[in-house]
Amino acid sequence: GGAPDPDTVRARDRRHVWHTWSPLSADRSRLTLARGRGYRVWDIDGREYIDAASLNTVCGYAHPHVAEAVGRQLGRLHQFDLSLASHEPAGLLAERLSSYLPEQFAKTLFVNSGSEGIEAAVVIADGYWAHLGRPRRRVVTFARGYHGSTVINRSLSGLPRVRHAFSPALPVTHVDLPVPPGELHRPESLAPLLSAFERALCADADDPPMAVLVEPFLNVGGGVVLPPGFLKGLSELCAATGTLLILDEVFTAFGRTGRMFACQREEVLPDILVTSKGLSGGYVPIAAVTVHQRVHDTFRADPVIGGLRYGHTTSGHPVACAAALATLDVVEREGLAERAERLGARLRDRLGALAGTGEVTDVRGLGLVLVVELSSAEAAAGLVSRAEGLGLLLRQPGEAVMAVPSLTIDEEGAETVADLLEQAVAKGAS
Ligand code: PLP
């Protein structure tokens, strides 16, 4: 057939699609996308945008290496249940993940989304303590954290948008930021933040936490950059108190923050590392829970099956594993982590001048994540909407506006992101 009629496509969406995390009054069909290539997407009317809104596009759209790998695996073995058998893509991907980490991190459990990965990590932490014969259940985490949308994940968050009627599913101690989000990245915020975690960890000597769970960058929680040294200090607190450290690198892993994993900036290793989005660049859904051997081995003591009672029929889906292996090839071959570090630093230098102008209160970031904070959520929404009018798609976590372009973006594309952001800010002031 010919090209679809845009009005028909939009009307169908409005009639039938229940959009995730959206007010019923919002018309998401206003932006209806038709295709993507590299760091750009096109809508159904043929309008071109730079996509700086997608959290998982590390290697952009329609990358031939990934597309070919996915097609090849689809035609070879598209599925099999890992609870019964194995296949080569799962082994290759688990091996690849362990190759980026010390040898104690040889074991990976596969699931299908970041939410499932975090839920599995919590189940694993609970099992670890149970199998050691010292049950623990409490989790310490940021009140502003976001770890996904299942009931356990939602209990972990203190964000009003995320709390759920069934929460709390487990006891959680929420740590509030000791300073406003725009000030947290300053070195002087480190001591008060670590003290807040120490208080939460040691709140009740009779009820020690089973785990501390944090993101290395608070994405949904407001584009919050943590002070340098935080992960290092936190891992020392965990070691001193015998608490497991679970890192939610669902968004930050695979180059986004200028390293393969954000924790490598501070040479910190968690006990459980959860990754997703960038793992397969969004080509096929997949998430990975990579654990320290010591944690894995306690599951021999499980009284029912002597192993982990957890998983999905589609866990370690061969096509998703193939997409991830190809994505990681691109991340490595094209040096995407170094590129994110270099381009991100340059854009922050350039856009730093916006801080204090008009409604902009702060400019910050980490690797190729740019955060512009505004005086209100309304001002942030206005900036996102003006940028979209100029051909730049952005995210809006609360009062912040975030630009997360594909890590394959070239220098010219990166400068265009900065140009368009500056123009959108200037338009708001006039
Ligand atoms: N953890 C973090 C840090 C995230 O940013 C997200 C998604 O935005 C999740 C977990 C949940 O992942 P998913 O949306 O794949 O369930």
Which residue, 357, 368, 430, 359, is CA-closest to 402?
Answer: 368
Specify the residue with its C-alpha closest to ligand 1, atom 12.
114
Give the confidence band of 1 by pLDDT, cuts at 50, 70, 90.
Answer: low
Tokens for 170, please give them: 């487990």
> Coil, strand or helix: which one is 175?
strand
Which residue, 108, 83, 80, is CA-closest to 325?
Answer: 108
The number of residues in the chain equals: 430
Q: What's the pLDDT tens digit per position in 275-303?
A: 999 999 999 999 999 999 999 999 999 99
Whole-angstrom Cα Rg for the chain? 22
Q: Is 62 left (phi over 0), alpha (psi -120 to 50) or beta?
A: left
pLDDT for residue 419: 98
* Ligand 1 center to 46 CA (angstroms): 30
Burial 86-95 (b: 16+ CB within 10 A, else e): ebebbeebbe
Residue among 251, 274, 279 whose CB has most ligand 1 atoms within 8 A, to mutate:
251
Q: What is the mean pLDDT of residues 397-406?
A: 97
- Domains of the chain with bracketed CATH: 6-59+335-429 (3.90.1150.10), 64-333 (3.40.640.10)
pLDDT surpassing 70 at residue 425: yes
Which DSSP letter does residue 274 get? E
Specify the residue with its C-alpha closest to ligand 1, atom 10.
147
Q: What's the pLDDT tens digit per position in 236-275?
A: 999 999 999 999 999 999 999 999 999 999 999 999 999 9
Which residue, 132, 141, 184, is CA-closest to 159?
Answer: 141
Q: What is the mean pLDDT of residues 139-162?
A: 96
pLDDT for residue 358: 87
Tokens for 55, please give them: 């959290």
Q: What's the pLDDT tens digit per position in 102-115?
A: 999 999 999 999 99
Tokens for 292, please give them: 């320290």
Which residues does a 6 A CB cutoff place in the pocket of ligand 1?
55, 113-115, 118, 146-148, 215, 219-220, 248, 250-251, 276
Rounded to whole angstroms, the Cα distance separating 237 from 248 reads 18
Specify the residue with its C-alpha closest to ligand 1, atom 1.
147
pLDDT for residue 204: 87
* Ligand 1 center to 117 CA (angstroms): 9
Q: Given the CA of residue 150, which atom of ligand 1 is nearest to it? A: 16
- Looking at 42-201, list the stretches that DSSP marks H as alpha helix, in order from N- to C-terminal side: 64-76, 88-99, 114-131, 151-155, 190-201
Q: What's the pLDDT tens digit per position in 172-225?
A: 999 999 999 999 999 999 999 999 999 999 988 899 999 999 999 999 999 999
Q: What's the pLDDT tens digit per position in 333-376?
A: 999 999 999 999 999 999 999 999 889 999 999 999 999 999 99
Q: What's the pLDDT tens digit per position in 48-84?
A: 999 999 999 999 999 999 999 999 999 999 999 999 9
Global confidence as pTM: 0.98
Q: Is 8 exposed, middle or buried (0-12, 13-18, 19+ CB in 10 A)?
A: exposed
Rounded to whole angstroms, the Cα distance separating 204 from 47 reads 57
Residue among 217, 263, 277 whose CB has most ligand 1 atoms within 8 A, to mutate:
277
Q: What's the pLDDT tens digit per position in 3-38?
A: 899 999 999 999 999 999 999 999 999 999 999 999
122 touches 213 (CB < 8 A): yes
Q: Is 353 exposed, middle or buried (0-12, 13-18, 19+ CB in 10 A)?
A: exposed
pLDDT for residue 167: 86
List strands edge to edge, sheet with 40-43.
Answer: 33-37, 40-43, 48-51, 392-393
pLDDT for residue 184: 97
Burial 236-264 (b: 16+ CB within 10 A, else e): ebbeeeebbbbbbbbbbbbbbbbbbbbbb
* Ligand 1 center to 150 CA (angstroms): 11
- 102: cis peptide before it, omega within 30°? no
β partners of residue 51: 393
Specify the residue with its C-alpha closest to ligand 1, atom 16.
115
- Looking at 151-189, list the stretches that DSSP marks H as alpha helix, in order from N- to C-terminal side: 151-155
Rounded to whole angstroms, the Cα distance separating 304 from 172 reads 27
pLDDT for residue 429: 81
109 touches 308 (CB < 8 A): yes
pLDDT for residue 239: 96
pLDDT for residue 376: 97
pLDDT surpassing 90 at residue 408: yes
Rounded to whole angstroms, the Cα distance separating 300 from 298 reads 5
What is the CA angle 270-274-276, rounded to 5? 150
